[in-house]
């Protein structure tokens, strides 16, 4: 027995030396126990695609300068160019290209549909009379989604959320508590009313239809169509779902049937989305005489270009709008970006476009989804530069023809944020006054006799689902 035991010991040691046994259950660095792929394998895939397709592939470091043992997100970011993203005053602020786990991929353009209180807001640093920060933030509600916890709580556009659970405690570290979370209580101020406590249900799935509001206003012989469009998403279940695009066509059929001859397009909260939906919108606005013209031109890192013409789908529509002097008014803000800017740029050569609002982002690029069913990652590198039929560039953003800022107390001294679609609402009212030649009226609804003292906005919640560039739909790319 002793001899057999010694044989077993020596056999075990021999197997260990040969690397066939004696390993513990802990994966080696770089292993992915979930799918059997190593970080090295994933990173090699990332590098291969980036060197081939990334718009600034010449800026990617040499292979011996890359850490292939890094986690994939770190590795991906190490390859990005400083030309990717936005730089202001010599400081690089953020990248457009991004990477995330592929969790049954859903369009990033919509609000966090699976977990949200169902509202968008702008966050301000509260200051004293000397303009010194008080150390906490207030949130101003921009709009509330229907059938959401926020709407059930009675929240409205223009309300101020001034605290959570009885305290002025919203700050740079915790403002995410306004995006999603458990059932809670918020302190809310509306107009000159006293601060009140409201109960809000736990966050949950909420549909975010980008076609937020539409209407027609009659002013003499002017029939003014108005559309609030908040992101370029074709349907609630990804780019192959055309539910929202079909609804858009029906809305425009209604505009045409009502004889709309002036148009106001509200893109102030629209940070971008899919090319097919952007082209659908532009195709419904373009004059009939220009329907066969170029919508956009896309150029890659190899000097190759292709173009897409304006979408000419007419199913569900009653024809083209007949706008006075081929004129359109578009409402913009600093959040207007990507596909929103592509729509503006595509219409510029063929229409009289008047921009009302603020300088736009200047996101003149497109991105294409990269995924491999072997890996748990999905990433969107910038692969295309986008121009229009006459090769206009807008990397510096579109400067408005009429500078108009709903947060500027010198322009909007009542500090009112009336409901979107109210003809006296600050931005829409300005457009209507330009169309009719009659100045907008002032209203006291939701106004403060002493507006809340605040500094510049520090965050807008719509930023979290803005796209890094126009999202290209793979099967609709024309070569």
Instruction: State whether 137 and 178 are in the same domain.
Output: yes
Residue 313: inside a domain, yes or no? yes
pLDDT in tens, 198-253: 999 999 999 999 999 999 999 999 999 999 999 999 999 888 899 999 999 999 99
The DSSP line for 150-197 is: HHHTT--TT-EEEEETTB----TTTGGGGTS-SSEEEEEE-TTSPPEE
Domain around 256: 209-363+383-441
pLDDT in tens, 68-126: 999 999 999 999 999 999 876 778 888 999 998 876 544 444 445 679 999 999 999 99
Instruction: State whether 225 and 316 are in the same domain.
Output: yes
Report the relative pairing of strands 370-371 and 119-127 from DSSP bridges: unpaired
Instruction: State whether 279 and 391 are in the same domain.
Output: yes
pLDDT in tens, 21-58: 444 444 444 444 444 568 899 999 999 999 999 999 99
Q: What CATH number did the domain enclosing 142 receive?
A: 2.30.42.10
The pLDDT mean for the chain works out to 87
Band of the pLDDT at 3, cuts 50, 70, 90? very low
pLDDT of residue 437: 95
Instruction: State whether 277 and 409 are in the same domain.
Output: yes
Q: What is the mean pLDDT of residues 386-401?
A: 96
Number of domains in the chain: 3
Instruction: State whether 90 and 235 are in the same domain.
Output: no
How far is C-alpha 341 from the chain's CA centre?
12
pLDDT of residue 238: 82
Region of 357 (left: φ > 0; alpha: ψ -120 to 50; beta: rest) is left
pLDDT of residue 38: 83
Residue 9: inside a domain, yes or no? no
Phi, psi of 464, deg, nearest 5: -75, -15
Q: What is the mean pLDDT of residues 286-300?
A: 94
Please, are residues 150 and 201 in contact by the beta-carbon 8 Å criterion? no
- Tell me: pLDDT of 336 over 80: yes
pLDDT of residue 473: 77
């Amino acid at each position: 027995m002793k001899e057999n035991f010694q044989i077993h010991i020596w056999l075990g040691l021999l197997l260990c030396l040969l690397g066939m046994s004696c390993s513990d259950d802990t994966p080696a660095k770089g292993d992915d126990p979930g799918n059997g792929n190593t970080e090295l394998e994933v990173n090699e895939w990332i590098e291969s695609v980036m060197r081939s397709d990334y718009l600034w592939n010449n800026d990617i470091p040499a292979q011996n300068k890359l850490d292939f043992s890094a986690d994939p997100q770190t590795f991906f970011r190490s390859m990005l160019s400083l030309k990717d993203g936005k730089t202001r005053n010599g400081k690089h602020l953020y990248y457009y290209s991004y990477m995330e786990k592929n969790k049954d991929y859903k369009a990033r353009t919509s609000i966090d549909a699976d977990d949200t209180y169902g509202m968008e807001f702008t966050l301000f640093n509260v200051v004293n009379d000397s303009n010194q920060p008080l150390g906490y933030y207030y949130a101003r509600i921009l709009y509330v989604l229907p059938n959401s916890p926020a709407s059930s709580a009675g929240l409205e556009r223009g309300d101020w959320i001034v605290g959570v659970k009885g305290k002025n405690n919203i700050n740079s570290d915790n403002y995410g508590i306004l995006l999603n979370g458990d059932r809670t209580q918020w302190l809310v101020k509306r107009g000159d009313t006293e601060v009140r406590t409201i109960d809000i249900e736990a966050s949950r799935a909420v549909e975010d239809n980008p076609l937020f509001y539409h209407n027609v206003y009659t002013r003499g012989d002017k029939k003014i169509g108005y559309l609030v469009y908040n992101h370029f998403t074709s349907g609630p279940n990804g780019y192959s779902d055309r539910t929202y695009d079909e609804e858009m066509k029906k809305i425009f059929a209604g505009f045409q049937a009502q004889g709309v001859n002036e148009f106001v397009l509200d893109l102030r909260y629209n940070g971008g989305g899919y090319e097919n939906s952007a082209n659908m919108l532009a195709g419904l606005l373009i004059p009939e005489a220009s329907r066969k013209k170029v919508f956009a031109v896309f150029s890659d890192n190899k000097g190759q270009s292709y173009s897409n013409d304006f979408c000419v789908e007419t199913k569900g529509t009653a024809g083209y709008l007949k706008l006075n002097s081929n004129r359109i008014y578009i409402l913009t803000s600093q959040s207007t970006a990507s596909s929103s800017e592509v729509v503006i740029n595509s219409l510029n050569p063929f229409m009289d476009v008047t921009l009302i609002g603020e300088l736009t982002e200047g996101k003149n690029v497109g991105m294409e989804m990269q995924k491999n069913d072997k890996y748990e990652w999905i990433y969107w590198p910038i692969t295309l530069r986008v121009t229009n039929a006459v090769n206009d560039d807008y990397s510096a953003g579109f400067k408005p023809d009429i500078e108009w800022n709903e947060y500027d107390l010198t322009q909007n001294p009542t500090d009112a944020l009336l409901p979107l679609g109210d003809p006296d609402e600050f931005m829409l009212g300005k457009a209507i006054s330009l169309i009719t030649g009659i100045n907008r009226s002032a209203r006291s609804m939701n106004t403060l006799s002493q507006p809340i003292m605040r500094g510049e906005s520090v965050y807008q919640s719509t930023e979290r689902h803005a796209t890094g560039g126009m999202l290209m739909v793979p099967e609709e790319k024309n070569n």
